[in-house]
Chain A
Amino acid sequence: GQNIDQPTEMTATEGAIVQINCTYQTSGFNGLFWYQQHAGEAPTFLSYNVLDGLEEKGRFSSFLSRSKGYSYLLLKELQMKDSASYLCAVRDRDYQLIWGAGTKLIIKP
């Protein structure tokens, strides 16, 4: 079967750095996505990795290791508005997205 694993919840302090991990087992791999979802709202696209390595976009970075079936999302200089759920999704061999259950990130002052 196909499986995406993420921690259910994480807590971090405003101004700090947090790393959200995602491990996956899928039938084929055609890229990994990270989305942000604020409570009661729609998911919004954050990042995309298809090759190994780090992709940086402002305060957010995403890393991929295909051989390990592993990715992480790194958030720097945390702000209160970063309190949200972060969803990891892998595109499988049929180009369908398989979604993790999401990691709820709580930012404390």
Chain B
Amino acid sequence: IAGITQAPTSQILAAGRRMTLRCTQDMRHNAMYWYRQDLGLGLRLIHYSNTAGTTGKGEVPDGYSVSRANTDDFPLTLASAVPSQTSVYFCASSPSGRNEQFFGPGTRLTVL
């Protein structure tokens, strides 16, 4: 692995189902982030983690949860998906909160 990987690449999900988006980085970055990107809107921060073991809420956290058990992994879980969660989800990381962020390739999620 080099950089950040996300899985799955895309997913179609029935409303009400539970879904976990995976994100793994091998750069030993302390900070990790989850964003959603919708047409006509800027990237919006869902949750973040400044270091393993800590997480924080971003601008649009409702309906999503995260965990950061170790440095490399930062999964995002939708407990009960709704159609408004249809979006492209990007995971990002940075050495610290004071550096530029590096983005994964994204997950395109459709909730029907």
Question: Are the CB atoms of B40 and A101 closer together than 8 Å?
Answer: yes
**A residues near B45, Cβ cutoff 8 Å:** 96-97
Specify which of A41, A96, A101 is in contact with B42 (CB 8 Å cutoff). Answer: A101
**A residues near B48, Cβ cutoff 8 Å:** 96
By a beta-carbon cutoff of 8 Å, the part of chain B in contact with chain A is 40-45, 48, 58, 90, 97-98, 100-106
Question: Are the CB atoms of B44 and A99 closer together than 8 Å?
Answer: yes
**A residues near B103, Cβ cutoff 8 Å:** 42-44
Per the bound structure, the CA–CA distance linking A44 and B90 in Å amounts to 12
Tell me if B's interface is mostly helix, strand, loop or mixed.
loop
Question: Are the CB atoms of A45 and B101 closer together than 8 Å?
Answer: yes
How many interface residues does A have (CB within 8 Å)?
A: 19
Question: Are the CB atoms of A41 and B43 closer together than 8 Å?
Answer: no
**B residues near A89, Cβ cutoff 8 Å:** 42-43
Scoring A residues 11 to 42 as 1 if CB is less than 8 Å from chain B, else 0, what string do you get? 00000000000000000001001000000011
Per the bound structure, the CA–CA distance linking A44 and B105 in Å amounts to 10
Question: Are the CB atoms of A99 and B90 closer together than 8 Å?
Answer: no
A4 at interface (Cβ–Cβ under 8 A)?
Answer: yes
Task: Give the distance to chain A from B57, nearest Cβ to Cβ, in Å.
Answer: 11
24 pairs from A and B in contact (CB 8 Å cutoff)? A4-B42, A30-B98, A42-B105, A42-B106, A43-B43, A43-B90, A43-B103, A44-B103, A45-B101, A48-B100, A87-B42, A89-B42, A95-B97, A95-B98, A96-B45, A96-B48, A96-B58, A97-B43, A97-B101, A98-B42, A99-B42, A100-B42, A101-B40, A102-B42
Per the bound structure, the CA–CA distance linking A42 and B90 in Å amounts to 8
Name A30's closest neighbour in chain B (CB-CB). B98
Question: Are the CB atoms of A42 and B104 closer together than 8 Å?
Answer: yes
Per the bound structure, the CA–CA distance linking A30 and B98 in Å amounts to 9
**B residues near A96, Cβ cutoff 8 Å:** 45, 48, 58
Per the bound structure, the CA–CA distance linking A101 and B37 in Å amounts to 9
Per the bound structure, the CA–CA distance linking A49 and B100 in Å amounts to 11
Name A45's closest neighbour in chain B (CB-CB). B100
Per the bound structure, the CA–CA distance linking A100 and B42 in Å amounts to 5
